[in-house]
């Protein structure tokens, strides 16, 4: 049964052929059955007509022709013709006796001649309610119907009764009005003397076998339908189990992918699950803008804080920085202790210039956010809030999957990546240092002053760093924040090195002037 279901699933055109064959078979079966039904009805009608004619001929031969011949043509029409030699029946008597003959000979057809005015020497006719009502309707006057039909029976048996009026003619009127045993002597031409009722009886099951082809078709179609329904039921059960398993697997994979996404940058996660990136070891050489940052004096800070407090603070710092990086479209390579490594240009890029500008804007937003967090952390009792140093460089790096077939890492390598780390190492706390390649793309966004040329370890060429001196974020950062208990907090993040030196000297001079003279 399962094979049958899989057969139709793999070859749906056979199902179409089967449906078409079923439609053709239905039409053919109905045509054969209608032909058989027509033939059967014609045979029955012919047999019935033959029986009626035979009864009429037999009755006519014995009760009319035979009696006339036996008296050498000396005859007369009487209702009691049997009592008079050579007499023949009048029409009413003929109808009564002929109806009885037909009814006795043919069980499915009955003929009755009934009247409410029988001859006085005869018993009254037993009329059915339908016959009595029909006789009353036929006598209702001009416009009365010429026939009435009654249909009755059960589910298995039906019969139809057709009633027509017997109209008095001139001869009938003369006979009945002059006959001594007539129940009425004032008949007129056109009066309704009686009714004749023809009743046809036929069991419903009689024609049932005439639909043998349709019954065979229904049986075959029903059998096929049961088999098909059973196949569909089993397939539905299989599909239901498969859907349940698929839903469970999807939920499991969704949970796993959600957990994996926390270990990957959004761009890498999306490229892997969309199929754009495979899991093979491969690298490309691309021009990237690389970002490095770490926290100033992080080791000293860890010695002054409890591990639980440090963990909470560091996770809060990484969360805020990662959110800003995602906003600007950075690919976060990794977190190394307190350091952040990120880059722009892979797996998606907006071009070297736009990647560099996005990276610098990200760094500016990070420094601004750190200024806000510093105030918040001080209010929580953190004596030395985190201050980050940042370095940015633009150049060609190898980027892709590095490692083994069992364990690999998506990262970058190259001298240009190392240069970003070296630039970060010479930055002031809260400062951003750029390479010339990066500064060339953002010189209209920020102001930066060149530092002394430096030769970094592992870098063959001499590098001129550029320290960012002003940016939009510094204008919004509060430089001085007054607090209670005559405590003053000075935020130097938004000041360049020269301004910081002047502020420090001004504070020393103010403190010296405030000292009491000895």
Q: What is the pLDDT of residues 335-393, one digit of tens each?
A: 988 899 999 998 889 999 999 999 999 999 999 999 899 888 888 888 788 899 999 99
What is the mean predicted confidence (pLDDT) over 438-466? 90
Rounded Cα–Cα distance for residues 432 and 389 (Å): 6
Q: Quote the pLDDT of residue 292.
A: 96
Q: How far apart are the C-alpha atoms of 90 and 413, rounded to whole Å?
A: 130
* Length of the chain in terms of residues written: 518
**Residue 49 or 85, more confident:** 85
H or E element, residue 390: strand 388-403
Q: In Å, what is the CA distance from 454 to each residue of 292, 427, 464?
A: 18, 13, 6
pLDDT value for 347: 86
| pLDDT at 480 exceeding the cut of 90 | no
> 482 falls in which pLDDT band (50, 70, 90)?
very low
Say how far apart CA 389 and CA 399 lie, in whole Å: 24
Burial of 467 from C-beta contacts in 10 A (0-12 / 13-18 / 19+): buried
Q: Does residue 489 contact residue 384 with C-beta atoms inside 8 Å?
A: no
How confident is the model over 406-433, as pLDDT tens digits? 788 888 999 999 999 999 999 999 999 9
Region 23-38: what's the mean pLDDT? 73
What count of other Cβ atoms lies within 10 Å of the Cβ of residue 148?
20
* Count of other CB atoms within 10 angstroms of residue 343: 28
pLDDT surpassing 60 at residue 186 = yes
DSSP 433-499: EE-HHHHHHHTTT-EEEE---B--TT--S-B--EEEEE-HHHHHS-SEEEETTTEEEE--TTS-HHH
Q: Got the DSSP string for 218-267? A: HHHHHHHHHHHHHHHHHHHHHHHHHHHHHHHHHHHHHHHHHHHHTTS-HH
Give backbone dihedrals phi and psi of 281, rounded to 5 degrees, phi first: -75, 115
Distance (Å, whole) CA 517 – CA 448: 43
Predicted pLDDT of residue 277: 63
Instruction: Measure the CA–CA gap between 78 and 94, rounded to whole angstroms.
Output: 10
CA distance 160 to 500: 120
pLDDT at residue 275 is higher than 50:
yes
- Report d(CA 412, CA 352) in Å as an integer: 16
**Mean pLDDT score across all residues of the chain:** 80
* Range with lowest mean pLDDT among 35-44, 286-295, 403-412, 456-465: 35-44
For the chain, give the longest Cα–Cα distance: 186
């Amino acid at each position: 049964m399962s094979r049958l279901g899989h057969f139709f699933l793999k070859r749906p055109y056979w199902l179409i052929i089967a449906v078409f064959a079923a439609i053709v078979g239905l039409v053919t079966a109905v045509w054969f059955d209608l032909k058989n039904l027509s033939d059967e009805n014609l045979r029955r009608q012919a047999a019935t007509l033959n029986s009626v004619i035979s009864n009429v001929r037999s009755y006519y031969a014995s009760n009319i022709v035979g009696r006339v011949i036996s008296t050498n043509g000396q005859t007369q029409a009487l209702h009691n013709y049997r009592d008079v030699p050579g007499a023949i029946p009048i029409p009413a008597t003929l109808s009564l006796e002929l109806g009885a003959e037909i009814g006795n000979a043919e069980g499915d057809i009955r003929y009755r001649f009934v009247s409410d005015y029988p001859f006085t020497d005869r018993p009254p006719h037993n009329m059915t309610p339908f016959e009595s009502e029909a006789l009353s309707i036929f006598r209702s006057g001009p416009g009365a119907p010429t026939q009435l039909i009654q249909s009755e029976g059960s589910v298995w048996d039906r019969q139809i009764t057709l009633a027509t009026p017997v109209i008095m003619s001139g001869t009938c009127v003369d006979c009945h009005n002059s006959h001594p045993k007539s129940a009425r002597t004032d008949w007129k031409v056109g009066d309704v003397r009686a009714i004749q009722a023809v009743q046809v009886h036929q069991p419903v099951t009689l024609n049932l076998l005439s639909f043998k082809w349709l019954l065979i078709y229904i049986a075959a179609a029903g059998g096929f339908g049961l088999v098909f329904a059973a196949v569909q039921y089993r397939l539905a059960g299989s599909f239901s189990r498969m859907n349940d398993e698929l839903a469970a697997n999807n939920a499991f994979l969704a949970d796993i992918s959600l957990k994996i996404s926390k270990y990957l940058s959004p761009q890498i996660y999306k490229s892997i699950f969309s199929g754009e990136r495979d899991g093979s070891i491969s690298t490309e050489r691309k021009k990237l803008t690389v970002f490095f940052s770490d926290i100033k004096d992080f080791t000293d800070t860890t010695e002054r804080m409890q591990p639980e407090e440090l963990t909470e603070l560091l996770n809060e710092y990484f969360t805020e920085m990662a959110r800003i990086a995602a906003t600007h479209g950075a690919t976060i390579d990794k977190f190394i202790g307190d350091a952040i490594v990120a880059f722009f240009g892979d797996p998606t890029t907006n071009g070297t210039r736009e990647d560099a500008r996005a990276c610098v804007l990200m760094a500016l937003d990070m420094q601004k956010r750190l200024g806000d967090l510093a105030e918040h952390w001080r209010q929580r009792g953190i004596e030395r809030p985190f201050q980050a140093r940042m370095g940015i460089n633009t150049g060609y790096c190898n980027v892709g999957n590095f490692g083994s077939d069992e364990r690999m890492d998506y990262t970058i390598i190259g001298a240009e990546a190392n240069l970003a780390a070296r630039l970060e190492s010479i930055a002031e706390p809260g400062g951003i240092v750029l390479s010339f390649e990066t500064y060339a793309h953002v010189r209209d966004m920020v102001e930066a002053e060149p530092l002394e040329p430096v030769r970094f370890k592992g870098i063959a060429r001499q590098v001129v760093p550029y320290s960012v001196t002003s940016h939009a974020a510094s204008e919004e950062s509060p430089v001085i924040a007054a607090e209670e208990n005559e405590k003053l907090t000075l935020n130097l993040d938004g000041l360049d090195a020269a301004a910081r030196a002047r502020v420090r000297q001004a504070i020393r001079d103010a403190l010296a002037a405030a000292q009491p003279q000895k």
